A and B are shown apart, each in its own frame.
Chain A
Amino acid sequence: MLARRLLVAIIAAVVTIGLWPGGTTQAADMAQGSQGASGYFSNSDTLPGSYKLYIQTGIGGGLWGLGPNRGPVKRSSFNMDPHSEVRDYNDARDCKGCHLEEARDMHTVRMGITCRQCHVSLPIAGVHQYYSPMNPIRRHAYVCAKCHEGATPSFAGFVIHEPTVLDAIAEEDFPLLYYAVWFMLILAGGVFVIFLPYTGLLLIREYAARLFGRSNNG
């Protein structure tokens, strides 16, 4: 009898707990801020120090200033219509006519995304212009999230238009990328520079040893 009551009590407890999680999860979510969030910002965006994501120039994003955006910033990137001073400009012109280097990025080259799919406004506002969809305040929500669901300001910190990684410009603009790529290239190059000739010499030596009847061991 006691065992039966105990069993009923356990089942009741399990059912109660099973029914409860809706409330518990909601409470946990509220505590994490996800229920209360606008959908544009995650909780981590409101932590101390996260404001740095929105500072627009010359901060070089963390890691002892080795991050991106160290280089000079064009004054025109703060304008509502940076093309207004460009002679013979019209909105139908091919962007690559002037911005060929900017079109050498993964979105354009590999995914076939056009410039206007991200630089959406007309006139095309400078990326640092306060109301621009490209402004770091809202870029993640207005631009990145169109394809990358749940994009955050941190995610939008991915550098789409990378400097040419081995150039001196990259050393100035994104030092960590510049040093990392050089390190990896020296590492990879070093392996081939040492081991390819070594392998060739080894094969020649071993075949020669066999052909001329000399012992491999001396």
Chain B
Amino acid sequence: MADTTKRLIRFTPIQRLWHLGLIFIFILMTVTGFAWMYVETHWGQTLASWFGGIKETVEIHKIAGLVLLAGFVLHILYALCRVDWSKFPGSLYSPDLLMMGIRDFGKMIQHMGWTIGLCKAPRFERWAWWEKFDYWAVWWGFTITGITGLMLYNPVLTSDYMPGWMLNLALWIHRIEAVLAIGHVFTIHFLMAHMRPGTVPFNGAMFDGTITMSEARHDHPEWVARLEKNGELEAMSVPEPSVPLRVLYFGVGYIIMAFAVTLLAFAVINITAVTLL
């Protein structure tokens, strides 16, 4: 295969499935969460009306949260299975895994320096530092919103184990962390994943599981060098995905992104109408 048409496998089907599930559940959580947060506005009431009213919306938010947490627990088990325990703990820092190490912090500083012209760009292995950051941010976000969300799931039961006023804290922490997650995903993540020169107008890596060889050589030169050195490059190379598949994920992807950005825009426009902020 020519270098221009060759693609490198980047994500396994199960990893793509995690991401796809996450997209749908995260959007559902965002819509139902915003409906509750903005219920005193016309926009919030419109969102709630999609689910039959605010009571139903909150119930769906709670159930979706449980599904999300169950998925998170399954993902933790999956991640643990990916570790080579016979070579633990060194295997945690395998370049194919997403564990952040000291080197990643070094590359982060170097990369920030490069953006303002102070030094050369770092050469990334399979994962750039911001990709690892994005991954762990999900753990961080789910842990915080998950714990506080579970506290709020049944407040009467929760208050049997802690003072009721801890629910005041849970509400605020849940709210701020959720807004942080939404804001981060709908701006920084979308820009970094889809708007960089090598990926614009749409990065399909998470949907077909591959990236072009030229993009791999440009963004992850150490990864390609390792595969070449180990003689694994050809085995990891696949042809381009079919056009119908690309059209499908391009279309669905852009509909979801446009919807998400619109949600964020409405949230910003209506923010002053929310009394509790």
Contacts and interface: CB of A to CB of B under 8 A. Distances in A.
A125 B184 CA distance: 48
Given A110-B36, A188-B176, A157 B164 contact: yes
A152 B112 contact: no
B121 A162 contact: no
A148 B276 contact: no
Contacts of A196: 187-188
A210 B165 CA distance: 55
Given A42-B160, A67-B163, A159-B168, A188 B191 contact: no
B251 interface: no
Central interface residue in B159, B162, B198, by most chain A CB within 10 Å: B159
B172 A158 contact: no
B196 A149 contact: no
Interface residues of A, number: 50
Contacts of B242: none
Interface in B109-155: 111-112, 114-117, 120-121, 123, 155
A142 to B, nearest CB: 16
Contacts of B221: 217
Interface string A46-80: 00000000000000011000011000000000000
Given A199-B191, A207-B197, A216-B121, A158 B168 contact: yes
A217 B196 contact: no
A35 to B, nearest CB: 17
23 contacts: A44-B160, A61-B165, A67-B163, A110-B39, A151-B156, A154-B160, A154-B162, A156-B164, A157-B159, A158-B155, A158-B168, A165-B172, A180-B169, A180-B173, A181-B172, A187-B176, A195-B188, A196-B187, A198-B112, A199-B187, A203-B195, A205-B115, A216-B218
Interface of B: 36, 39-40, 111-112, 114-117, 120-121, 123, 155-156, 159-160, 162-165, 167-169, 171-173, 176-177, 179-180, 183-184, 187-188, 191-192, 195-198, 218-219, 221, 275-276
Interface of A: 42, 44, 61-62, 67-68, 104-106, 109-110, 148-152, 154-159, 162, 165, 174, 176-177, 180-181, 184-185, 187-188, 191-192, 195-196, 198-199, 201-203, 205-207, 209-210, 216-218
